[in-house]
């Protein structure tokens, strides 16, 4: 694997190899290893054109733990603010002999465009592009599920919220499908659902009470207001009433249902605090797993 821009078309064996590698790194860290030198002498650039807390920080931590040098590109102090075009920025940075670029951009397809335009042997890893893909989030989500429920073939997973604008949902659906989950249910208001033919193998719901019935995993998504026109913004109180996860709704799910959310959370809109902070919440485990998944991905793309 030279680049990671999407999980689409990635075979099961490649996904499982990345998950196994992330687990091995997690075990090594649990046994006291704080730093490895497998990427010593390599340089990783964080190139984020959209805000991030979890992804950017965990990529930086992952690269440093592997011994790489890290540059965090500061957009507000860069020459992009003077009108420099994306590919001129790319070629300028490449001239400094980078090994990997971690990119987040509001335009879907930007990571693949960087792969096509790159002139050096730089690896490109997608940290989220528009509503298309967030592959490392998809990997860390299935790693978190596998930790608790490795029996994917028995699992009913519900993904609820603004699926239409969610790159996380798309990468989760690809990973869960390849790993063979029994059933994927997609739920949200009609205006925030993907086209009916985008995921013909998933079951579509507008009623969250029905969608969560007997589910083993519930992945909650925030409203992606930054990708909506103002007329499409739902009333938040009404939204929580219909699509928020609270203890009453969680009781309809299977016993021990894993509660997940990629973050950032909007408490009281898509999830109640009592559930986000409750015994079934795996949200902070997801964050922790993000570091090991990103270490695994960097090892994989830079293994040359």
Residue 222, annotated as binding a ligand = yes
Contact between 262 and ligand CP per CB under 6 A = yes
Among 6, 131, 137, 289, binds ligand CP (CB under 6 A): 137
Among 264, 273, 277, 278, binds ligand CP (CB under 6 A): 264
Closest approach, Cβ 212 to ligand CP, in A, equals 22
Among 263, 292, 298, 301, binds ligand CP (CB under 6 A): 263
Nearer to ligand CP by Cβ, of 56 and 94: the residue is 56
Residue 167, annotated as binding a ligand = yes
Per-residue DSSP letter, 118: -
Nearer to ligand CP by Cβ, of 134 and 249: the residue is 134
Closest approach, Cβ 162 to ligand CP, in A, equals 14
User: Please, which residues have CB within 8 angstroms of residue 287's CB and are 6 or more apart in sequence?
Assistant: 54, 58, 263
- CA–CA distance, 174 with 181 (Å, rounded to integer): 11
Residue 135, annotated as binding a ligand = no
Helices vs strands, H then E, count in the chain: 11, 9
Residue 104, annotated as binding a ligand = yes
Nearer to ligand CP by Cβ, of 55 and 156: the residue is 55
* Stretch binding ligand CP (CB under 6 A), from 105-113, 224-232, 241-249, 260-268: 260-268
> Using an 8 Å Cβ cutoff, are 280 and 256 in contact?
yes
* Stretch binding ligand CP (CB under 6 A), from 62-70, 93-101, 170-178, 259-267: 259-267
Closest approach, Cβ 120 to ligand CP, in A, equals 26
- CA–CA distance, 244 with 117 (Å, rounded to integer): 42
- CA–CA distance, 163 with 220 (Å, rounded to integer): 10
Closest approach, Cβ 290 to ligand CP, in A, equals 8
Structure tokens at 156: 């009913």
CA angle 286, 156, 131 (to 5 degrees): 55
* Stretch binding ligand CP (CB under 6 A), from 47-55, 75-83, 270-278, 295-303: 47-55
Nearer to ligand CP by Cβ, of 42 and 167: the residue is 167
Helix (H) or strand (E) holding 142: helix 135-148
Alpha helices in 159-281 (DSSP H): 167-178, 208-211, 236-243, 247-250, 273-276
Structure tokens at 217: 């995993």
Helix (H) or strand (E) holding 258: strand 258-260
Q: What is the CA 46 to chain-centroid distance, rounded?
A: 16
Count of chain residues binding ligand CP (CB under 6 A):
10
Structure tokens at 167: 């790159």
- CA–CA distance, 284 with 56 (Å, rounded to integer): 16
Closest approach, Cβ 294 to ligand CP, in A, equals 11
> Using an 8 Å Cβ cutoff, are 61 and 34 in contact?
no
Residue 65, annotated as binding a ligand = no
* Stretch binding ligand CP (CB under 6 A), from 89-97, 177-185, 225-233, 257-265: 257-265
Q: Which of residues 50-89 bind ligand CP (CB under 6 A)?
A: 52-55
Residue ranges for the known binding site for L-aspartate are 82, 167, 222
Residues engaged in binding ligand CP (CB under 6 A): 52-55, 128, 134, 137, 262-264
Residue ranges for the known binding site are 54-55, 82, 104, 134, 137, 167, 222, 263-264
């Amino acid at each position: 694997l030279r680049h990671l821009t999407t999980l689409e078309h990635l075979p099961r064996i490649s996904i499982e190899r990345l998950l196994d590698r992330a687990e091995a790194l997690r075990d090594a860290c649990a046994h006291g290893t704080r730093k490895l030198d497998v990427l010593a002498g390599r340089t990783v650039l964080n190139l984020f054109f959209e805000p991030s807390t979890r992804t950017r920080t965990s990529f930086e931590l992952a690269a440093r733990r592997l011994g790489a040098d890290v540059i965090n590109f500061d957009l507000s102090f860069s020459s992009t603010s003077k009108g420099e075009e994306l590919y001129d920025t790319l070629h300028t940075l490449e001239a400094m002999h980078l090994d990997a670029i971690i990119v987040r951009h509001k335009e879907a397809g930007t990571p693949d465009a960087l792969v096509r335009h790159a002139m050096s042997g730089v690896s490109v890893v997608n940290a989220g592009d528009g509503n298309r893909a967030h592959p490392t989030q998809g990997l860390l989500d299935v790693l978190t599920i596998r930790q608790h429920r490795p029996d994917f073939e028995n699992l009913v997973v519900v993904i609820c919220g603004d699926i239409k604008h969610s790159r996380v949902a798309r990468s989760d659906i690809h990973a869960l499908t390849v790993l063979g989950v029994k059933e994927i249910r997609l739920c949200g208001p009609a205006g925030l659902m993907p086209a009916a033919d985008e995921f013909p193998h998933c079951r579509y719901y507008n009623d969250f009470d029905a969608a969560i019935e007997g589910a083993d995993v519930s992945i909650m998504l925030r409203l992606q207001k930054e990708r909506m026109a103002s007329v499409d913004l739902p009333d938040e109180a009404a939204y929580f009433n219909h699509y928020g996860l609270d203890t009453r709704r969680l009781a309809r799910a299977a016993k021990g249902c894993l509660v997940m959310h990629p973050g950032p959370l909007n408490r009281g809109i898509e999830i109640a605090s009592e559930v986000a902070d409750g015994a079934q919440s795996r949200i902070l485990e997801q964050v922790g797993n993000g570091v090991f998944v990103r270490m695994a991905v960097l090892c994989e793309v830079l293994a040359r």
